[in-house]
Structure 1
Amino acid sequence: MRMFTVFDAAERRTWAGRVTAYERSFAGLCAHPVPALLDAAGVRPGSRVLDAGTGTGTAARAASGRGATVTAVDADPGMAARAAATGRDTEVCVAALPCLPFADGRFDAVVGNFVLNHVGRPRAALAELRRVTRPRGRLALTLWAAPAAPGQTLVGRAMQAAGVTRPAHLPTLAPEDDFPRTEEGFARLLRDAGLTGVRCRTLVWEHRATPEEWWSGPAAGVASVGQVLTSQPPAVVAEVKRRYDALCAEFAGPDGVLVLPHAALLGSGRV
């Protein structure tokens, strides 16, 4: 069975060298579910916790702040280095799902904040996360919901209005590896992975950012939307930006800051 896919390879290219751009744009957005994620995993003082796909280390630092003993991994060396630099009480290493360098049952709790959005084989990733969780330990994950909330689709709408289509060199998840990004679909995925007591709920919140902050991530190639944007000729990027500026009016508050509705799924269960 293949371990990594063309989707995985594309994800490695997408995130390489973009840690600073991510911090300045989407990191604050992705931090929002962390307290609920740690609660769902039962993270408490003394817990041995794995944060899979740690990014810049937000969930790992929060778990450490709860008194847990934390190990964090990320597939991107730059992200892992940043997490290690800012989370000095956390063991951080470079590793990519579905291949983790840990013994069976090593952790009391395993968390992954949006990590399943970035793996080519979600079921294999879940199996690996389950493997490293001790019997009766807890696993909790977040995932962007589909259809996406209006705030998440802002840049995509601007690209669509400008006539941009996804380039052929940017792969999507293979149909046999995909699953419905709904509460029911996510819960079924977790149950099929062998978890018991599965719970899945939708987290809804409003993220605030200036138009410049929100544009800066895609403009620097962050995430798949950024890869689509930066693959376009300069004239097309300029047209997308013009469309984006017009659409921002829908989300602008009295102070000009964007109020962007977002929704994510939080799923958890016991091994």
Structure 2
Amino acid sequence: MQTAFDESERRTWAGQADAYAASFAKLCAYPVPRLLDAAEVREGARVLDVGTGTGSIAAAACERGARVAAVDAEPGMVACAAQAAPEADVRLAALPRLPFADHEFDAVVGNFVLNHVGRPRAALRELRRVTRPGGRIAVTIWAVPAAAGQALLGRAVQAAGASRPAHLPALAPEEDFPRTEQGMAALLGDAGLSDVVCDTLVWDHRTTLEEWWSGPAAGVATIGQIVTSQNPLVIAEIKDHFESLCADFTGPGGVLVLPHAALMAHGQA
């Protein structure tokens, strides 16, 4: 069953694969090696990458010699992932229903996919369903409160007085959970996983002002939908505030150094 949040996410990401690849994809690829290690992905393992996006995990898992399947809910992302990981079985599919049999995989990995589903608990139960007993599941989400670099664009929106439009519903309160190590660990435990561990990953993402603005300017992700739903004068004001706020994060050569933090949780099916 698709919720209003799920339907909004489908609209938000429709046709955005190229713009995402040019802006936020490198940021989201940072946890990939850690996720694959946590899921014990090795040569010959049957691995599912859920919410593959541009295919960074699928490609890295193939490089380890795993037998990889990958899914995404956006056709453009499926096309990108199929190009990035031609050895993988890449399909169009969305949580909480996956086109795989029970216990089909040794490891299932979801990099930031739980940020984009309307029923995260049901999504995790589905990941457990397709994982063999004793197999590993590893997932990431963004931590809350957001790290300084992650909050930069939101601060610019707030400074311009722009608000979230009505066509972008928030996650239903009964489906939400604390975006903390404890909250994330409890979510996996409630889905029936054992030996759950949740760690905070902290890193500095290096980009440029132009690259970082290109994502929201194209409407990528929720922040991009908020920006592009404003009138041109407000968009210009958001950009002015963004450029001013970037001064605190700008290093030599104009490189933006943006601190980010994510939660990585993993457990055994």
Fold match, TM over 0.5?
A: yes
- Cα deviation, 1:195-243, whole Å, max 9, x if unaligned, reads 0000000000000000000000010000000000000000000000011
1:15 equivalent among 5, 9, 13: 13
State the partner residue of 2:196: 198
| Counterparts of 2:92 and 2:252, CA distance in 1 | 43
- Cα deviation, 1:10-32, whole Å, max 9, x if unaligned, reads 00011111111000100000000
Query: What's the RMSD between the two structures over aligned residues?
Result: 0.5
1:38 is the counterpart of 2:36: yes
State the partner residue of 1:189: 187
State the partner residue of 1:229: 227
Q: 1:86, CA displacement in angstroms?
A: 2.0
Specify the SS of the correspondent of 2:253. Answer: coil
Number of aligned positions between the proteins: 269
Query: 2:126 is matched by which residue type in structure 1?
Result: E
Q: 1:169, CA displacement in angstroms?
A: 1.4
| Counterparts of 1:197 and 1:120, CA distance in 2 | 26
| Counterparts of 2:244 and 2:83, CA distance in 1 | 39
- Cα deviation, 1:69-120, whole Å, max 9, x if unaligned, reads 0000000011001111221100000000001010000000000000000000
State the partner residue of 1:172: 170
Query: 1:237 is matched by which residue type in structure 2?
Result: I
| Counterparts of 2:252 and 2:63, CA distance in 1 | 36
2:56 and 2:84 in contact (8 A); partners too? no
State the partner residue of 1:24: 22
| Counterparts of 1:173 and 1:4, CA distance in 2 | 12
State the partner residue of 1:266: 264
State the partner residue of 1:106: 104
TM-score, normalised to structure 2's length?
Answer: 0.99
2:76 equivalent among 49, 71, 78: 78
- Cα deviation, 1:123-144, whole Å, max 9, x if unaligned, reads 0000000000000000000110
State the partner residue of 2:143: 145
Gaps of 5+ in 1: none
Q: How does 1:208-223 map to 2 (within 5 A)?
A: 208-223=206-221
State the partner residue of 1:244: 242
2:132 equivalent among 122, 134, 137: 134
Q: What percentage of aligned pairs have identical amino acids? A: 69
